[in-house]
Amino acid sequence: MPEIFKIDPEDEGSLKSRSKQIRETLRQGGVIAFPTDTFYALGADPFNERGVCKIFKIKSREADQPLLVLVASIAQVECLAVARSQEADQLMRECWPAPLTLILKAVPELPKRLTANTETIGVRLPKNDWTRRLIEVAGCPLTAPSANKSGEKNLRTADEVRRSLGDTIDLIIDAGPAPGGKVSTLLDTTVSPPVLIRQGAVTREKIESILKTECSPAS
């Protein structure tokens, strides 16, 4: 069974005390489960191909489905994406942190498996402080596909993750239940106007009010 770290999300010290184990797990290509601003997710270092491939195996995920990545700050986007559009920068400034995933042009150093050969990467700055602190402790952005088998329901608690995925993952960080609710909105900002790929917690109306333009629907 995976190791489980019980963390008090209100106590920064309880997370920092586990930083060495978390970083070492990720460095070795391991996968962690952790709560986000929506559901529990599976985290790996996005630049570690071994960890990325392990997530695809855990989830039984199709190779043509890229993985999204969480960052702790807007500055951290620099290591993941290039040639950001004005719309992307505006949404980062005025909407993030929020359950809004922006599709950006990926840096070439990212594994092709992560991007599913699309040369793009979905990035989100999560709304809850605790998840951002975890990313800082991890020392790198974290992949964040839902912690479940592809096609199964999203999970809100560490115990649900343990029962569903068992010893296929290396470490579960139990910081209490994730809030659940709607999934993140997915917006492609590599084109203009941006294309709304998936409607989620952040509404089309909010995005369009920020950009002062209409989003195109997904084809």
Looking up residue 41, the CATH number of its domain turns out to be 3.90.870.10
Pairing of strands 120-124, 69-70: parallel
For each of the chain's 219 residues, which pLDDT tens digit applies?
788 999 998 888 889 999 999 999 999 999 999 999 899 999 999 999 999 999 999 999 999 999 999 999 999 999 999 999 999 999 999 999 999 999 999 999 999 999 999 999 999 999 999 999 999 999 999 999 999 999 999 999 999 999 999 989 999 999 999 999 888 999 999 999 999 999 999 999 999 999 999 998 887
Rounded CA gap, 77 and 142, in Å? 12
- Overall number of domains in the chain: 1
Domain housing 58: 3-217
Give buried/exposed letters for 141-179 (b at 16+ CB in 10 A, else e).
bbbbbbbbeeeeebbbbbebbbebbeeebbbbbbbeebe
Rounded CA gap, 108 and 88, in Å? 19
Neighbour count for residue 97 (Cβ, 10 Å): 19
Pairing of strands 32-35, 40-43: antiparallel
